[in-house]
Amino acid sequence: MTRILSVHSFRGGTGKSNLSANLAAAFAARGLRVGVFDTDLASPGIHVLFGFTAGPESHTLNDHLQGSIPIEKCSHDVTPSALGGGKGRIYLVPAAMDGDRIARLLREGYEVERLNDALFSLGQSQHLDLLIVDTHPGINEETLLSTAISDCLVMVMRPDQQDYLGTAVAIEVAQRLMVPEARLVVNKLPPHFDAEQVRARVAQSYGIPVGAILPLSDDLLTIASRSLALVDVPSHPWSAGVTQLAADLADALL
């Protein structure tokens, strides 16, 4: 049965999509079949990290949620060539990128129920081991749903006070929805912060396991928005942290 992993943050700019995409690559490198849903429909972006560009015939999640296109036709194999030799695959369900489609979705909305059915349907039809849901930040109907159906919630936060407070709210909601597993990831930790102190502080504050403390890095800023760090610079501490997190999650979920 496909396991669902939601990557969520209370506020934007935490590096959630970047983490989702690189986690997918780490799982695929372990030989797993991974689906990635971009449910950040108001501000999609994860496709860029996989180098995916929607052509005129390419379907997106919007075509399923607001139309009649089967979800299977909205998924695209984006497995990086560096991982292509193994058994692992990555199937991306991107969100529509053009302004008209985004505006239509925001104007008309969609049945959240269709998103739920789509996740389970794709997992089954593509024989996926894992499905990663890259969510919209904050709390709304879609993010509550993806939290509720998750086998594991990965909460991403930066080490700043607003993130500390908002993350507490999101974790409380996840606990009410009885999510079986949860991990906290502190991303973009400035070099002058003591990683172990931060780890101890967040572990004590939230009472859920800390999955990773990932550094803020100037090197990554040059590649982070256009490709996968795990593929381009696998030995970088950030990539190594994500690889370790993927190993931990695979052990917990599979």
Partner 1 sequence: MRSSEPPETAGDSAARPLLALPEGPLSMARLVALEPAALRQLLTLGLRAGLGEPELDACCAAAAPPLGQTPEQLRARLQERGWLRWDPERQRWRTRLGAARPPAPP
* Complex with partner 1: residue 90 or 174, whichever CB lies closer: 174
Closest to 37 in 3D by CA, of 67, 1, 9, 7: 7
- Assigned token pair, 58: 């390419």
Per-state percent for the chain, helix, strand, coil, to nearest 5: 45, 20, 35
* Binding-site string for partner 1 from residue 79 to residue 108, where x marks contact by CB under 8 A and - marks none: ------------------------------
Q: Which residues pair with 38 in a beta bridge?
A: 134
Minimum CB separation of residue 16 from partner 1 in Å reads 19
Which residues, at least 6 apart from 228, have a Cβ–Cβ distance to it below 8 Å? 21, 22, 25, 49, 50, 80
When binding is defined by CB under 8 A, the residue of 111, 165, 203, 205 that contacts partner 1 is 111
Q: Which listed residue (1, 161, 204, 218) binds partner 1 by CB under 8 A?
A: 1
Is residue 116 within the footprint of partner 1 (CB under 8 A)? Answer: yes
Q: Least distance to partner 1 from the beta carbon of 139, Å?
A: 9
The yes or no reply on residue 112 touching partner 1 (CB under 8 A) is yes
> At its nearest, how many Å lie between partner 1 and the CB of residue 111?
6
Specify the 3-state DSSP secondary structure of 31: coil
Nearest to 214 by CA among 191, 197, 248, 247: 191
Nearest distance from C-beta of residue 243 to partner 1, angstroms: 28
Cα angle 87-226-16, degrees, rounded to a multiple of 5: 80
Q: Closer CB to partner 1, residue 173 or residue 220?
A: 173
Three-state SS for 114?
helix
Restricted to residues 142-201, the positions that interact with partner 1 (CB under 8 A) are 144-145, 148-149, 173, 176-178
For the CB of residue 174, give the shortest distance to partner 1 in the complex, in Å.
10
Strands 76-77 and 89-93: antiparallel
Measured from the CB atom, the residue of 94 and 123 that comes closer to partner 1 is 123
Helix, strand or coil for residue 19?
Answer: helix
Q: Is 113 left (phi over 0), alpha (psi -120 to 50) or beta?
A: alpha
Binding mask 201-230 for partner 1 (x = CB under 8 A): ------------------------------
The secondary structure element, H or E, covering residue 252 is helix 237-253
Residues that bind partner 1 (CB under 8 A): 1, 111-113, 116, 120, 141, 144-145, 148-149, 173, 176-178
